[in-house]
A and B are shown apart, each in its own frame.
Chain A
Amino acid sequence: MQTSSLKKFLKLYSKEIRELRPEILVVLIATLVLDLLFYFKARQFLGMIIGPSMMMLGLAAFLPFISSFKLLGREWNSNTIYLLLSLPVKGGSILGSKLLALLTQYLIGTVVVTTGGITLAYLLFPEPGLAETLRQAQAAGIDTRLQTIISSGALFYLMSLVGMAYVIAISFFSQLLGKLVTRFSGLVTAIVFIATFWLMNKLMTPLWQQLGKYTQLHMNQSNFSIVAFNQLVGMNTLIMLAGTIIVFIAAVLVYNHKIEL
Protein backbone atom coordinates (compact mmCIF):
# COMPACT_ATOMS: atom_id res chain seq x y z
CA MET A 1 0.00 0.00 0.00
CA GLN A 2 1.56 3.27 -1.14
CA THR A 3 1.20 6.27 1.14
CA SER A 4 0.85 9.41 -0.95
CA SER A 5 2.89 12.55 -0.28
CA LEU A 6 -0.35 14.50 0.06
CA LYS A 7 -1.62 12.15 2.77
CA LYS A 8 1.66 12.53 4.68
CA PHE A 9 1.49 16.32 4.30
CA LEU A 10 -2.10 16.42 5.55
CA LYS A 11 -1.19 14.27 8.55
CA LEU A 12 1.62 16.67 9.44
CA TYR A 13 -0.73 19.63 8.90
CA SER A 14 -3.41 18.18 11.20
CA LYS A 15 -0.74 17.60 13.86
CA GLU A 16 0.34 21.26 13.61
CA ILE A 17 -3.25 22.48 13.82
CA ARG A 18 -3.67 20.40 16.98
CA GLU A 19 -0.52 22.05 18.39
CA LEU A 20 -1.98 25.50 17.62
CA ARG A 21 -5.40 24.76 19.04
CA PRO A 22 -4.87 26.63 22.36
CA GLU A 23 -3.88 29.89 20.60
CA ILE A 24 -6.75 29.62 18.11
CA LEU A 25 -9.21 29.04 20.97
CA VAL A 26 -7.82 31.98 22.95
CA VAL A 27 -8.54 34.37 20.06
CA LEU A 28 -12.01 32.89 19.46
CA ILE A 29 -13.04 33.01 23.11
CA ALA A 30 -11.54 36.49 23.73
CA THR A 31 -13.37 37.85 20.66
CA LEU A 32 -16.66 36.34 21.72
CA VAL A 33 -16.33 37.61 25.30
CA LEU A 34 -15.29 41.10 24.19
CA ASP A 35 -18.08 41.42 21.60
CA LEU A 36 -20.73 40.18 24.03
CA LEU A 37 -19.41 42.51 26.73
CA PHE A 38 -19.66 45.49 24.41
CA TYR A 39 -23.07 44.50 23.16
CA PHE A 40 -24.67 44.01 26.58
CA LYS A 41 -22.65 46.16 28.98
CA ALA A 42 -20.87 48.96 27.17
CA ARG A 43 -23.54 50.52 24.98
CA GLN A 44 -23.15 53.81 26.83
CA PHE A 45 -19.39 53.94 26.04
CA LEU A 46 -19.54 53.39 22.30
CA GLY A 47 -16.37 55.37 21.65
CA MET A 48 -14.38 52.82 23.64
CA ILE A 49 -15.26 49.95 21.33
CA ILE A 50 -12.78 50.78 18.56
CA GLY A 51 -9.59 50.51 20.67
CA PRO A 52 -10.08 47.03 22.16
CA SER A 53 -11.48 45.70 18.87
CA MET A 54 -8.40 46.87 17.02
CA MET A 55 -6.26 45.33 19.75
CA MET A 56 -8.03 42.01 19.23
CA LEU A 57 -7.42 42.26 15.50
CA GLY A 58 -3.76 43.03 16.21
CA LEU A 59 -3.55 39.99 18.49
CA ALA A 60 -5.19 37.72 15.91
CA ALA A 61 -2.82 38.99 13.23
CA PHE A 62 0.33 38.94 15.38
CA LEU A 63 -0.17 35.66 17.25
CA PRO A 64 0.75 33.37 14.31
CA PHE A 65 4.14 35.07 14.14
CA ILE A 66 4.74 34.35 17.85
CA SER A 67 3.38 30.81 17.37
CA SER A 68 5.90 30.21 14.57
CA PHE A 69 8.68 30.28 17.18
CA LYS A 70 6.73 27.96 19.47
CA LEU A 71 5.80 25.53 16.72
CA LEU A 72 9.33 24.92 15.50
CA GLY A 73 11.23 25.51 18.77
CA ARG A 74 9.05 23.04 20.68
CA GLU A 75 10.19 20.18 18.42
CA TRP A 76 13.65 20.59 19.93
CA ASN A 77 12.49 21.35 23.47
CA SER A 78 10.31 18.25 23.67
CA ASN A 79 12.71 16.02 21.67
CA THR A 80 10.04 15.35 19.02
CA ILE A 81 12.59 16.53 16.47
CA TYR A 82 13.94 12.94 16.73
CA LEU A 83 10.62 11.71 15.40
CA LEU A 84 10.31 14.40 12.72
CA LEU A 85 13.82 13.87 11.38
CA SER A 86 13.38 10.11 11.25
CA LEU A 87 10.22 10.35 9.10
CA PRO A 88 10.61 9.63 5.38
CA VAL A 89 9.64 13.20 4.40
CA LYS A 90 11.75 16.17 3.38
CA GLY A 91 11.95 19.63 4.90
CA GLY A 92 9.50 21.02 2.34
CA SER A 93 6.68 18.95 3.86
CA ILE A 94 7.72 19.55 7.47
CA LEU A 95 8.09 23.33 7.14
CA GLY A 96 5.27 23.62 4.58
CA SER A 97 2.77 21.97 6.93
CA LYS A 98 3.83 24.29 9.75
CA LEU A 99 3.54 27.35 7.50
CA LEU A 100 0.11 26.31 6.28
CA ALA A 101 -1.09 25.68 9.85
CA LEU A 102 0.11 29.13 10.96
CA LEU A 103 -1.63 30.76 7.99
CA THR A 104 -4.79 28.86 8.94
CA GLN A 105 -4.46 30.28 12.44
CA TYR A 106 -4.11 33.78 10.95
CA LEU A 107 -7.10 33.21 8.69
CA ILE A 108 -9.38 31.94 11.47
CA GLY A 109 -8.32 34.66 13.92
CA THR A 110 -8.62 37.64 11.58
CA VAL A 111 -11.86 36.49 9.94
CA VAL A 112 -13.53 35.86 13.31
CA VAL A 113 -12.38 39.17 14.83
CA THR A 114 -13.33 41.15 11.71
CA THR A 115 -16.71 39.47 11.35
CA GLY A 116 -17.40 40.04 15.04
CA GLY A 117 -16.37 43.70 14.77
CA ILE A 118 -18.50 44.36 11.68
CA THR A 119 -21.52 42.63 13.24
CA LEU A 120 -21.07 44.64 16.44
CA ALA A 121 -20.73 47.92 14.52
CA TYR A 122 -23.82 47.09 12.46
CA LEU A 123 -25.83 46.36 15.62
CA LEU A 124 -24.57 49.27 17.73
CA PHE A 125 -24.31 51.97 15.06
CA PRO A 126 -27.54 51.70 13.04
CA GLU A 127 -27.24 55.36 11.95
CA PRO A 128 -26.47 56.63 9.33
CA GLY A 129 -27.01 53.11 7.94
CA LEU A 130 -25.20 51.16 5.25
CA ALA A 131 -27.18 52.62 2.33
CA GLU A 132 -26.45 56.18 3.49
CA THR A 133 -22.74 55.43 3.99
CA LEU A 134 -22.53 54.01 0.46
CA ARG A 135 -24.31 57.08 -0.93
CA GLN A 136 -21.83 59.37 0.82
CA ALA A 137 -18.90 57.38 -0.53
CA GLN A 138 -20.38 57.48 -4.04
CA ALA A 139 -20.77 61.25 -3.78
CA ALA A 140 -17.06 61.44 -2.89
CA GLY A 141 -16.27 59.67 -6.20
CA ILE A 142 -15.49 56.22 -4.76
CA ASP A 143 -16.55 53.16 -6.71
CA THR A 144 -19.02 51.47 -4.35
CA ARG A 145 -20.08 48.54 -6.47
CA LEU A 146 -20.16 45.32 -4.37
CA GLN A 147 -17.88 43.58 -6.84
CA THR A 148 -15.26 46.34 -6.48
CA ILE A 149 -15.46 46.37 -2.69
CA ILE A 150 -15.08 42.60 -2.50
CA SER A 151 -12.19 42.43 -4.99
CA SER A 152 -10.28 45.26 -3.28
CA GLY A 153 -10.91 43.81 0.16
CA ALA A 154 -9.88 40.32 -0.94
CA LEU A 155 -6.70 41.61 -2.58
CA PHE A 156 -5.79 43.64 0.47
CA TYR A 157 -6.39 40.63 2.72
CA LEU A 158 -4.34 38.42 0.40
CA MET A 159 -1.48 40.90 0.71
CA SER A 160 -1.66 40.69 4.51
CA LEU A 161 -1.71 36.87 4.31
CA VAL A 162 1.39 36.83 2.10
CA GLY A 163 3.00 39.33 4.48
CA MET A 164 2.38 36.91 7.34
CA ALA A 165 3.86 34.03 5.29
CA TYR A 166 6.91 36.24 4.64
CA VAL A 167 7.65 36.89 8.34
CA ILE A 168 6.96 33.23 9.23
CA ALA A 169 9.42 32.08 6.54
CA ILE A 170 12.05 34.43 7.97
CA SER A 171 11.24 33.12 11.46
CA PHE A 172 11.77 29.50 10.29
CA PHE A 173 14.99 30.34 8.50
CA SER A 174 16.46 32.21 11.47
CA GLN A 175 15.43 29.53 13.98
CA LEU A 176 16.98 26.77 11.88
CA LEU A 177 20.24 28.68 11.57
CA GLY A 178 20.07 29.25 15.32
CA LYS A 179 19.84 25.47 15.82
CA LEU A 180 23.13 24.97 13.99
CA VAL A 181 25.05 26.39 16.94
CA THR A 182 25.15 24.77 20.36
CA ARG A 183 25.56 27.99 22.33
CA PHE A 184 23.71 31.34 22.08
CA SER A 185 21.12 29.76 19.81
CA GLY A 186 18.51 32.40 20.71
CA LEU A 187 20.91 35.25 20.05
CA VAL A 188 21.89 33.80 16.67
CA THR A 189 18.20 33.40 15.80
CA ALA A 190 17.53 37.06 16.66
CA ILE A 191 20.53 38.33 14.69
CA VAL A 192 19.71 36.18 11.65
CA PHE A 193 16.08 37.29 11.78
CA ILE A 194 16.99 40.98 11.72
CA ALA A 195 19.74 40.47 9.12
CA THR A 196 17.44 38.47 6.79
CA PHE A 197 14.71 41.08 7.12
CA TRP A 198 17.18 43.83 6.28
CA LEU A 199 18.72 41.91 3.37
CA MET A 200 15.36 41.01 1.85
CA ASN A 201 14.22 44.63 2.13
CA LYS A 202 17.41 45.69 0.32
CA LEU A 203 16.71 43.15 -2.42
CA MET A 204 13.12 44.27 -2.80
CA THR A 205 13.79 48.02 -2.61
CA PRO A 206 14.30 48.50 -6.41
CA LEU A 207 10.94 46.83 -6.97
CA TRP A 208 9.23 48.99 -4.34
CA GLN A 209 10.78 52.06 -6.04
CA GLN A 210 9.28 51.05 -9.37
CA LEU A 211 5.93 50.66 -7.63
CA GLY A 212 6.32 54.14 -6.12
CA LYS A 213 6.73 55.62 -9.61
CA TYR A 214 3.64 53.74 -10.78
CA THR A 215 1.68 55.11 -7.82
CA GLN A 216 2.73 58.68 -8.61
CA LEU A 217 1.69 58.22 -12.21
CA HIS A 218 -1.72 56.61 -11.69
CA MET A 219 -2.86 57.50 -8.24
CA ASN A 220 -2.82 61.04 -6.97
CA GLN A 221 -5.41 62.79 -4.89
CA SER A 222 -7.31 64.18 -7.86
CA ASN A 223 -7.21 60.96 -9.82
CA PHE A 224 -7.95 58.00 -7.53
CA SER A 225 -8.65 54.87 -9.50
CA ILE A 226 -9.78 51.67 -7.81
CA VAL A 227 -8.30 49.64 -10.67
CA ALA A 228 -4.91 51.28 -10.16
CA PHE A 229 -5.23 50.70 -6.40
CA ASN A 230 -5.93 47.01 -6.96
CA GLN A 231 -2.97 46.74 -9.33
CA LEU A 232 -0.74 48.39 -6.73
CA VAL A 233 -1.85 45.98 -4.01
CA GLY A 234 -1.53 43.05 -6.42
CA MET A 235 2.03 43.97 -7.40
CA ASN A 236 2.98 44.50 -3.74
CA THR A 237 1.63 41.04 -3.00
CA LEU A 238 3.63 39.49 -5.84
CA ILE A 239 6.88 41.09 -4.69
CA MET A 240 6.31 39.86 -1.15
CA LEU A 241 5.37 36.39 -2.42
CA ALA A 242 8.66 36.19 -4.34
CA GLY A 243 10.53 37.18 -1.15
CA THR A 244 8.60 34.56 0.84
CA ILE A 245 9.44 31.81 -1.66
CA ILE A 246 13.15 32.70 -1.61
CA VAL A 247 13.39 32.66 2.20
CA PHE A 248 11.24 29.51 2.50
CA ILE A 249 13.42 27.62 0.03
CA ALA A 250 16.51 28.73 1.98
CA ALA A 251 14.90 27.40 5.21
CA VAL A 252 14.07 24.06 3.53
CA LEU A 253 17.65 23.72 2.26
CA VAL A 254 19.02 24.34 5.75
CA TYR A 255 16.59 21.74 7.18
CA ASN A 256 17.44 19.13 4.54
CA HIS A 257 21.20 19.56 4.45
CA LYS A 258 22.38 21.06 7.73
CA ILE A 259 20.07 20.15 10.59
CA GLU A 260 21.26 17.22 12.70
CA LEU A 261 20.88 16.04 16.27
Chain B
Amino acid sequence: MIEFKNISKSFGSTVALDDVSLVFPRGKIIGLFGPNGAGKSTSIKLIMGLNRPDRGEVRVDGENPQNKKQDMAYLPEIDHLYPWMNIAQAADFTRTFYTDWDETKYRELIKFLNLQEDMKISKISKGQRAKTKLLLTVSRRAPYLLMDEPLSGIDILTREEIINTLIRDYREGEQTIIISTHEIAEVESLVDEVIFLDRGQIKLSGNAEDLRVKRNMSLVELMKEAFRNAN
Protein backbone atom coordinates (compact mmCIF):
# COMPACT_ATOMS: atom_id res chain seq x y z
CA MET B 1 0.00 0.00 0.00
CA ILE B 2 1.20 3.50 -0.84
CA GLU B 3 0.28 6.33 1.46
CA PHE B 4 0.56 10.12 1.15
CA LYS B 5 0.36 11.90 4.50
CA ASN B 6 -0.22 15.66 4.16
CA ILE B 7 2.15 15.98 1.23
CA SER B 8 3.12 19.41 -0.04
CA LYS B 9 5.60 19.98 -2.81
CA SER B 10 6.52 23.17 -4.63
CA PHE B 11 8.97 24.01 -7.39
CA GLY B 12 9.90 27.64 -6.86
CA SER B 13 6.61 29.53 -6.73
CA THR B 14 4.68 26.70 -8.44
CA VAL B 15 2.71 24.51 -6.06
CA ALA B 16 2.68 20.94 -7.40
CA LEU B 17 0.93 19.28 -4.45
CA ASP B 18 -0.84 21.07 -1.64
CA ASP B 19 -1.39 19.15 1.61
CA VAL B 20 -2.50 15.97 -0.15
CA SER B 21 -3.39 12.87 1.86
CA LEU B 22 -4.40 9.72 0.03
CA VAL B 23 -4.02 5.98 -0.10
CA PHE B 24 -3.24 3.92 -3.21
CA PRO B 25 -4.74 0.50 -2.40
CA ARG B 26 -2.74 -2.63 -3.12
CA GLY B 27 -3.47 -4.93 -6.05
CA LYS B 28 -5.51 -2.46 -8.09
CA ILE B 29 -5.10 -0.41 -11.27
CA ILE B 30 -5.32 3.21 -10.21
CA GLY B 31 -5.83 6.10 -12.62
CA LEU B 32 -4.25 9.39 -11.62
CA PHE B 33 -6.12 11.88 -13.77
CA GLY B 34 -6.05 15.60 -14.30
CA PRO B 35 -4.98 18.33 -16.70
CA ASN B 36 -1.38 19.40 -17.29
CA GLY B 37 0.17 20.82 -14.13
CA ALA B 38 -2.28 19.01 -11.84
CA GLY B 39 0.48 17.27 -9.87
CA LYS B 40 0.25 13.81 -11.45
CA SER B 41 3.92 13.44 -12.45
CA THR B 42 5.07 14.86 -9.12
CA SER B 43 2.94 12.27 -7.30
CA ILE B 44 4.53 9.45 -9.33
CA LYS B 45 8.03 10.84 -8.73
CA LEU B 46 7.36 11.12 -5.00
CA ILE B 47 6.32 7.46 -4.89
CA MET B 48 9.43 6.53 -6.89
CA GLY B 49 11.67 8.55 -4.55
CA LEU B 50 12.77 10.85 -7.38
CA ASN B 51 11.30 13.85 -5.59
CA ARG B 52 11.21 14.57 -1.88
CA PRO B 53 8.20 16.22 -0.23
CA ASP B 54 8.63 19.70 1.28
CA ARG B 55 6.17 18.67 3.98
CA GLY B 56 4.47 15.40 4.88
CA GLU B 57 5.46 11.83 4.34
CA VAL B 58 5.27 9.21 1.59
CA ARG B 59 5.27 5.56 2.70
CA VAL B 60 5.43 2.50 0.48
CA ASP B 61 4.45 -0.59 2.48
CA GLY B 62 5.31 1.47 5.56
CA GLU B 63 8.80 2.33 4.31
CA ASN B 64 10.62 5.29 2.79
CA PRO B 65 10.33 5.09 -1.03
CA GLN B 66 14.14 5.35 -1.29
CA ASN B 67 14.35 1.87 0.23
CA LYS B 68 11.66 0.35 -2.01
CA LYS B 69 13.11 0.99 -5.47
CA GLN B 70 13.68 -2.73 -5.93
CA ASP B 71 9.90 -3.22 -5.81
CA MET B 72 8.97 -0.48 -8.25
CA ALA B 73 8.97 -0.45 -12.03
CA TYR B 74 8.88 3.07 -13.42
CA LEU B 75 7.93 4.27 -16.86
CA PRO B 76 8.52 8.03 -17.18
CA GLU B 77 6.99 10.23 -19.84
CA ILE B 78 10.35 11.31 -21.26
CA ASP B 79 12.88 9.11 -23.08
CA HIS B 80 15.20 8.01 -20.31
CA LEU B 81 17.09 5.17 -21.96
CA TYR B 82 20.70 5.43 -23.14
CA PRO B 83 20.44 6.26 -26.85
CA TRP B 84 23.58 4.31 -27.82
CA MET B 85 22.14 1.06 -26.47
CA ASN B 86 20.10 -1.35 -28.53
CA ILE B 87 17.09 -3.10 -27.01
CA ALA B 88 19.13 -6.17 -26.01
CA GLN B 89 21.72 -3.99 -24.22
CA ALA B 90 19.01 -1.98 -22.48
CA ALA B 91 17.36 -5.23 -21.33
CA ASP B 92 20.70 -6.61 -20.14
CA PHE B 93 21.35 -3.39 -18.23
CA THR B 94 17.91 -3.51 -16.57
CA ARG B 95 18.01 -7.20 -15.69
CA THR B 96 21.26 -6.75 -13.73
CA PHE B 97 19.54 -4.52 -11.19
CA TYR B 98 16.31 -6.37 -10.57
CA THR B 99 15.74 -9.80 -9.13
CA ASP B 100 12.15 -9.81 -10.46
CA TRP B 101 13.19 -9.75 -14.14
CA ASP B 102 11.19 -12.35 -16.06
CA GLU B 103 13.16 -13.51 -19.11
CA THR B 104 10.27 -15.59 -20.52
CA LYS B 105 7.93 -12.65 -20.30
CA TYR B 106 10.53 -10.42 -21.96
CA ARG B 107 10.89 -12.88 -24.88
CA GLU B 108 7.11 -13.09 -25.30
CA LEU B 109 6.61 -9.34 -25.09
CA ILE B 110 9.32 -8.43 -27.57
CA LYS B 111 7.46 -10.50 -30.16
CA PHE B 112 4.05 -9.25 -29.09
CA LEU B 113 5.20 -5.63 -29.42
CA ASN B 114 6.90 -6.22 -32.79
CA LEU B 115 10.33 -5.14 -31.57
CA GLN B 116 13.74 -6.57 -32.38
CA GLU B 117 16.67 -6.85 -30.01
CA ASP B 118 19.16 -5.24 -32.40
CA MET B 119 17.10 -2.05 -32.76
CA LYS B 120 19.20 0.90 -31.59
CA ILE B 121 17.27 3.22 -29.29
CA SER B 122 18.50 6.42 -30.97
CA LYS B 123 17.38 5.14 -34.38
CA ILE B 124 13.84 3.92 -33.66
CA SER B 125 10.58 5.88 -33.90
CA LYS B 126 8.85 7.55 -30.96
CA GLY B 127 6.21 4.80 -30.88
CA GLN B 128 8.89 2.10 -30.83
CA ARG B 129 10.73 3.92 -28.03
CA ALA B 130 7.48 4.03 -26.05
CA LYS B 131 7.04 0.30 -26.63
CA THR B 132 10.67 -0.35 -25.62
CA LYS B 133 10.15 1.53 -22.34
CA LEU B 134 7.00 -0.51 -21.75
CA LEU B 135 8.83 -3.75 -22.60
CA LEU B 136 11.60 -3.06 -20.07
CA THR B 137 9.12 -2.01 -17.38
CA VAL B 138 6.59 -4.80 -17.80
CA SER B 139 9.20 -7.56 -18.21
CA ARG B 140 9.69 -7.29 -14.47
CA ARG B 141 7.34 -8.89 -12.00
CA ALA B 142 7.45 -5.79 -9.80
CA PRO B 143 4.79 -5.36 -7.11
CA TYR B 144 4.35 -1.70 -8.16
CA LEU B 145 4.18 -0.43 -11.72
CA LEU B 146 4.24 3.37 -12.03
CA MET B 147 3.45 4.81 -15.45
CA ASP B 148 3.66 8.50 -16.17
CA GLU B 149 1.74 9.48 -19.32
CA PRO B 150 2.46 6.18 -21.11
CA LEU B 151 0.28 7.17 -24.09
CA SER B 152 1.51 10.72 -24.57
CA GLY B 153 2.35 11.49 -28.22
CA ILE B 154 1.77 7.90 -29.31
CA ASP B 155 -0.31 6.97 -32.37
CA ILE B 156 -3.64 5.19 -31.95
CA LEU B 157 -2.39 1.73 -32.98
CA THR B 158 0.57 1.82 -30.61
CA ARG B 159 -1.73 3.03 -27.84
CA GLU B 160 -3.86 -0.01 -28.38
CA GLU B 161 -0.79 -2.28 -28.21
CA ILE B 162 0.33 -0.63 -24.96
CA ILE B 163 -3.09 -1.02 -23.35
CA ASN B 164 -3.38 -4.63 -24.56
CA THR B 165 0.06 -5.36 -23.08
CA LEU B 166 -1.02 -3.96 -19.73
CA ILE B 167 -4.25 -5.99 -19.71
CA ARG B 168 -2.39 -9.12 -20.80
CA ASP B 169 0.22 -9.00 -18.07
CA TYR B 170 -1.65 -7.53 -15.12
CA ARG B 171 -1.67 -9.78 -12.08
CA GLU B 172 -4.84 -8.82 -10.26
CA GLY B 173 -4.50 -8.61 -6.50
CA GLU B 174 -0.73 -9.02 -6.63
CA GLN B 175 0.35 -6.00 -8.59
CA THR B 176 -0.50 -2.33 -8.12
CA ILE B 177 -0.48 -0.24 -11.27
CA ILE B 178 -0.65 3.55 -11.13
CA ILE B 179 -1.26 5.24 -14.46
CA SER B 180 -0.95 8.99 -14.62
CA THR B 181 -2.57 10.47 -17.71
CA HIS B 182 -4.80 13.24 -18.98
CA GLU B 183 -6.06 10.94 -21.74
CA ILE B 184 -8.76 9.31 -19.65
CA ALA B 185 -10.87 7.84 -22.43
CA GLU B 186 -8.03 5.54 -23.49
CA VAL B 187 -7.61 3.91 -20.08
CA GLU B 188 -11.16 4.22 -18.76
CA SER B 189 -11.86 0.52 -19.19
CA LEU B 190 -8.63 -0.40 -17.42
CA VAL B 191 -8.79 1.35 -14.06
CA ASP B 192 -10.32 0.11 -10.79
CA GLU B 193 -9.77 3.25 -8.76
CA VAL B 194 -9.51 6.88 -9.85
CA ILE B 195 -8.00 10.00 -8.36
CA PHE B 196 -8.72 13.32 -10.06
CA LEU B 197 -6.10 15.97 -9.33
CA ASP B 198 -6.16 19.67 -10.13
CA ARG B 199 -3.58 22.30 -9.17
CA GLY B 200 -2.09 20.07 -6.53
CA GLN B 201 -5.32 19.05 -4.83
CA ILE B 202 -7.65 16.05 -5.01
CA LYS B 203 -10.91 16.96 -6.70
CA LEU B 204 -12.51 13.54 -6.68
CA SER B 205 -11.48 9.99 -5.84
CA GLY B 206 -13.02 6.58 -5.44
CA ASN B 207 -13.88 3.28 -7.11
CA ALA B 208 -14.26 3.85 -10.87
CA GLU B 209 -17.32 1.62 -11.27
CA ASP B 210 -19.09 3.08 -8.21
CA LEU B 211 -18.53 6.62 -9.49
CA ARG B 212 -19.81 5.73 -12.96
CA VAL B 213 -22.95 4.02 -11.65
CA LYS B 214 -23.67 6.58 -8.94
CA ARG B 215 -23.41 9.56 -11.27
CA ASN B 216 -24.38 7.80 -14.50
CA MET B 217 -21.41 9.32 -16.31
CA SER B 218 -18.23 8.14 -17.97
CA LEU B 219 -14.92 9.04 -16.30
CA VAL B 220 -14.26 11.68 -18.97
CA GLU B 221 -17.60 13.33 -18.21
CA LEU B 222 -16.93 13.01 -14.50
CA MET B 223 -13.62 14.78 -14.84
CA LYS B 224 -15.14 17.55 -16.93
CA GLU B 225 -17.82 18.06 -14.30
CA ALA B 226 -15.37 17.98 -11.41
CA PHE B 227 -13.19 20.63 -13.01
CA ARG B 228 -16.11 22.77 -14.12
CA ASN B 229 -17.34 22.86 -10.54
CA ALA B 230 -13.85 23.59 -9.26
CA ASN B 231 -13.45 26.56 -11.62
Residues of A within 8 A of B (CB): 1-3, 7-8, 11, 15, 18-19, 78-83, 85-89, 182, 260-261
Chain B interface residue bracket vs A: 20 to 34
Q: Which of A18, A85, A88, A182 is within 8 Å of B70, CB to CB?
A: A88
Residues of B within 8 A of A (CB): 11-12, 45, 48-52, 69-70, 72, 74, 76, 78-84, 93, 96-99
The answer on a CB contact under 8 Å between B80 and A8 is no
- The residues of B that contact A83 with a CB separation of less than 8 Å are 80-82
Q: Which of A3, A19, A88, A261 is within 8 Å of B51, CB to CB?
A: A261
What's the dominant secondary structure at chain B's contact region?
A: loop
- The residues of A that contact B79 with a CB separation of less than 8 Å are 79
Given the complex of chains A and B, what is the CA–CA distance between A204 and B44 in angstroms? 45
Given the complex of chains A and B, what is the CA–CA distance between A88 and B67 in angstroms? 8
Residue of A nearest to B73 (CB): A86
A220 to chain B, nearest CB (A): 55
Q: Given contacts A87-B69, A182-B12, A261-B45, are A82 and B50 in contact (CB under 8 A)?
A: yes
The answer on a CB contact under 8 Å between B98 and A86 is no
Q: Given contacts A3-B99, A79-B78, A82-B76, are A261 and B83 in contact (CB under 8 A)?
A: no
Given the complex of chains A and B, what is the CA–CA distance between A80 and B94 in angstroms? 13
Residue of A nearest to B82 (CB): A80
Q: Given contacts A78-B83, A260-B50, A261-B51, are A2 and B99 in contact (CB under 8 A)?
A: yes
Given the complex of chains A and B, what is the CA–CA distance between A7 and B96 in angstroms? 7
Q: Which of B12, B52, B72, B97 is within 8 Å of A8, CB to CB?
A: B97
Q: Which of B78, B97, B99 is within 8 Å of A1, CB to CB?
A: B99
- The residues of B that contact A18 with a CB separation of less than 8 Å are 84
Q: Given contacts A182-B12, A261-B45, are A88 and B80 in contact (CB under 8 A)?
A: no
- The residues of A that contact B45 with a CB separation of less than 8 Å are 260-261
Given the complex of chains A and B, what is the CA–CA distance between A18 and B84 in angstroms? 9
- Most chain B beta carbons < 10 A, residue from A15, A80, A81, A82: A82
Q: Which of B69, B93, B96 is within 8 Å of A86, CB to CB?
A: B69
Given the complex of chains A and B, what is the CA–CA distance between A261 and B48 in angstroms? 11
User: What are 22 pairs between A and B in contact, CB < 8 Å?
Assistant: A1-B99, A7-B96, A8-B97, A11-B93, A15-B93, A79-B79, A80-B80, A80-B81, A80-B82, A81-B80, A82-B74, A82-B80, A83-B80, A83-B82, A86-B50, A86-B74, A88-B70, A88-B97, A88-B98, A182-B11, A260-B45, A260-B51
- The residues of B that contact A8 with a CB separation of less than 8 Å are 96-97
Given the complex of chains A and B, what is the CA–CA distance between A7 and B74 in angstroms? 22
Given the complex of chains A and B, what is the CA–CA distance between A78 and B80 in angstroms? 7
Given the complex of chains A and B, what is the CA–CA distance between A85 and B50 in angstroms? 7
Given the complex of chains A and B, what is the CA–CA distance between A7 and B70 in angstroms? 15
A76 to chain B, nearest CB (A): 11
A46 to chain B, nearest CB (A): 42
- The residues of B that contact A88 with a CB separation of less than 8 Å are 69-70, 97-98
- The residues of B that contact A79 with a CB separation of less than 8 Å are 76, 78-80
A253 to chain B, nearest CB (A): 13
Given the complex of chains A and B, what is the CA–CA distance between A11 and B82 in angstroms? 14
Q: Given contacts A79-B78, A86-B74, are A3 and B97 in contact (CB under 8 A)?
A: yes
Given the complex of chains A and B, what is the CA–CA distance between A18 and B86 in angstroms? 13
Given the complex of chains A and B, what is the CA–CA distance between A82 and B82 in angstroms? 11
Given the complex of chains A and B, what is the CA–CA distance between A129 and B115 in angstroms? 63
Q: Which 6 A-B pairs have the closest CB atoms?
A: A82-B80, A88-B69, A88-B70, A11-B96, A83-B80, A86-B74
